[in-house]
């Protein structure tokens, strides 16, 4: 500063006078001797100066460092990724587009790639890029395609039996093994009948041709075994339906046809289903001559009971001595008042000396014991014994020996 003061004393006085900062009105609180003002202005934060880059901004001295480094649009700035030098405003435009900046892949594969190489990465390297399975055509991300290949139903696999055919789509392998693979070991078609042959499918035909008669024998034996099983089942079924109550209600249908037949054929006998007197009792069977026999022949219906060889005969008392009652029911008279069901009834208690009631041999007598003149044809026609061409005969066996009708 030029010395304009006339004398050192007055200069000293002036320079020593108290002043405020020239930016007092902008809020600077500084106040001191005039001679210190210049030094203050160098640090006064309200003292704006021109940006040295000539960007046109007035910047408070204290902000200038920041301005030059970060906000001056004409500052010199170098992109940290591509090292190209820009003005500040140029760098702002460049940021976010620099092709040398590493960024995360948008497909979220987790890789960082230079922005400029992203499209190549996504097309060729990215683990998440979609790829089409060449066998089934479905799309998978590249990192799961290999795993899919191990299970893809259309991917070709060789026959595990190493036959000549194939390779096959994985999904068709089962059908190949089951239906056509020539190398697969198969059992003989007659396995169920007992043939033990096992071999590659292409040898089966020769085996079948060479063993026709052996297979036939196996089949005969098998059908024999099956026949036995059927018989066992039949007798089990018969047992299930066997009557063990001691009372047989024998329903005889098509009465007129049977009567007609009996009149033309001598000695025609109808037999009832066998029944037991109790669960472990005697096995009995009733029989009927529609046109009579013996003293009733031609005029009466005869009824008989015979003892059949039963399963528990060895444990039973012989001779058979239960009372037996035959009842032929009139039909449609039930509830007509005065004595209930009408009908014809006959009973007997076996005489211990009668041959018919000894323990039966396996070939029992043809004829049992009964009533040759049980009911006359004349009575049969007069009373309602036959209804809907059907007759009911009850045979009741009673161990009490009391004859009750």
Residues in contact with Zn ion by CB under 5 A are 21, 23, 28, 30, 44, 51, 53, 55, 57, 72, 79, 81-82, 98, 105, 107, 109, 111, 126, 133, 135-136, 152, 159, 161, 163, 181, 188, 190, 195, 197
Name which of 93 and 351 has its Cβ closer to Zn ion.
93
Least distance to Zn ion from the beta carbon of 129, Å? 7
How far separated are the first and last CA of the chain, in Å rounded?
Answer: 164
The residue with tokens 């009964």 is 370
Least distance to Zn ion from the beta carbon of 15, Å? 18
Name which of 197 and 385 has its Cβ closer to Zn ion.
197
Q: Among 360, 375, 389, 369, which Cα is nearest to 324's? A: 369
Q: Among 278, 204, 269, which Cα is nearest to 247's? A: 278
Name which of 31 and 299 has its Cβ closer to Zn ion.
31
The residue with tokens 């012989």 is 318
Q: How many CA atoms lie within 13 A of 70 on its CB side?
A: 3
Least distance to Zn ion from the beta carbon of 18, Å? 14
DSSP 70: I
Name which of 105 and 248 has its Cβ closer to Zn ion.
105
Least distance to Zn ion from the beta carbon of 225, Å? 18
Name which of 93 and 389 has its Cβ closer to Zn ion.
93
Least distance to Zn ion from the beta carbon of 240, Å? 39
DSSP 363: S
CA distances from 39 to 2, 44, 245, 314 (A): 17, 9, 139, 146
CA distances from 4 to 7, 16, 33, 41 (A): 9, 16, 18, 21
Least distance to Zn ion from the beta carbon of 228, Å? 23
Name which of 117 and 135 has its Cβ closer to Zn ion.
135
DSSP sequence for 172-241? GHHHIIIII-SSSEEE-TTGGGT---EEEHHHHHHHHHHTHHHHHHHHHHHHHHHHHHHHHHHHHHHHHH
Structure tokens at 300: 């009466």
Name which of 2 and 27 has its Cβ closer to Zn ion.
27
Least distance to Zn ion from the beta carbon of 4, Å? 24
CA distances from 283 to 117, 248, 316, 323 (A): 103, 12, 11, 14
Name which of 98 and 307 has its Cβ closer to Zn ion.
98
Least distance to Zn ion from the beta carbon of 223, Å? 17
Least distance to Zn ion from the beta carbon of 219, Å? 11
Name which of 152 and 248 has its Cβ closer to Zn ion.
152
Least distance to Zn ion from the beta carbon of 203, Å? 11
Name which of 57 and 245 has its Cβ closer to Zn ion.
57
Which are the contacts of 164, defined by CB distance < 8 A and separation ≥ 6?
182
Name which of 71 and 358 has its Cβ closer to Zn ion.
71
Least distance to Zn ion from the beta carbon of 146, Å? 11
DSSP sequence for 252-294? E-SHHHHHHHHHHSTT--EEPPPEESSTTS-EEEEEEETT--G
DSSP 40: H
Q: At what angle do helices 201-210 and 212-241 cross, to 10 degrees?
A: 80
Chain CA centroid to CA 138, Å = 28
């Amino acid at each position: 500063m030029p010395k304009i003061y006339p004398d050192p004393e007055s200069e000293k006085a002036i320079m020593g006078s108290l002043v405020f900062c020239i930016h007092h009105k902008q809020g600077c609180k500084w106040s001191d001797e005039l001679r210190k003002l210049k030094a203050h202005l160098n640090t006064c934060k309200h003292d704006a100066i021109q940006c040295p880059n000539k960007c046109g901004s007035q910047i408070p001295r204290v902000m200038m460092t920041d301005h030059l480094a970060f906000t001056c649009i004409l500052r010199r700035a170098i992109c940290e990724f591509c090292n190209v030098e820009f003005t500040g405003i140029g760098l702002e435009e460049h940021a976010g587009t620099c092709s040398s900046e590493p960024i995360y892949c948008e497909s979220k594969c987790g890789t960082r790639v230079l922005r400029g190489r992203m499209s190549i990465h996504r097309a060729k390297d990215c683990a998440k890029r979609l790829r089409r399975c060449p066998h089934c055509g479905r799309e998978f991300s590249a990192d799961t395609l290999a795993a899919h290949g191990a299970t893809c139903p259309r991917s070709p696999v060789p026959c595990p039996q190493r036959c000549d055919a194939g390779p096959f789509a994985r999904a068709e392998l089962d059908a190949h093994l089951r239906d056509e693979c020539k190398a697969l070991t198969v059992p003989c078609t007659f396995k169920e009948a007992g043939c033990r042959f096992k071999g590659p499918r292409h040898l089966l035909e020769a085996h079948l041709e060479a063993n026709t008669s052996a297979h036939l024998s196996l089949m005969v034996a098998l059908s024999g075994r099956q026949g036995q099983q059927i018989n066992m089942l039949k007798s089990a079924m018969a047992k299930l339906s066997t009557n063990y109550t001691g009372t047989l209600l024998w329903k005889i249908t098509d009465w007129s046809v049977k009567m007609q037949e009996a009149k033309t054929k001598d000695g025609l006998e109808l037999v009832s289903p066998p029944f037991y007197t109790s669960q472990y009792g005697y096995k009995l069977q009733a029989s009927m001559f529609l046109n009579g026999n013996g003293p009733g022949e031609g005029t009466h219906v005869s009824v008989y009971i015979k003892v059949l060889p039963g399963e528990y005969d060895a444990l039973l008392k012989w001779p058979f001595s239960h009372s037996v009652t035959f009842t032929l029911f009139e039909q449609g008279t039930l509830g007509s008042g005065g004595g209930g069901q009408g009908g014809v009834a006959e009973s007997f208690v076996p005489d211990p000396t009668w041959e018919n009631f000894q323990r039966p041999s396996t070939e029992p007598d043809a004829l049992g014991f009964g009533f040759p003149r049980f009911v006359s044809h004349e009575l049969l026609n007069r009373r309602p014994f036959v209804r809907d061409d059907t007759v009911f005969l009850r045979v009741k066996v009673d161990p009490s020996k009391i004859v009750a009708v």
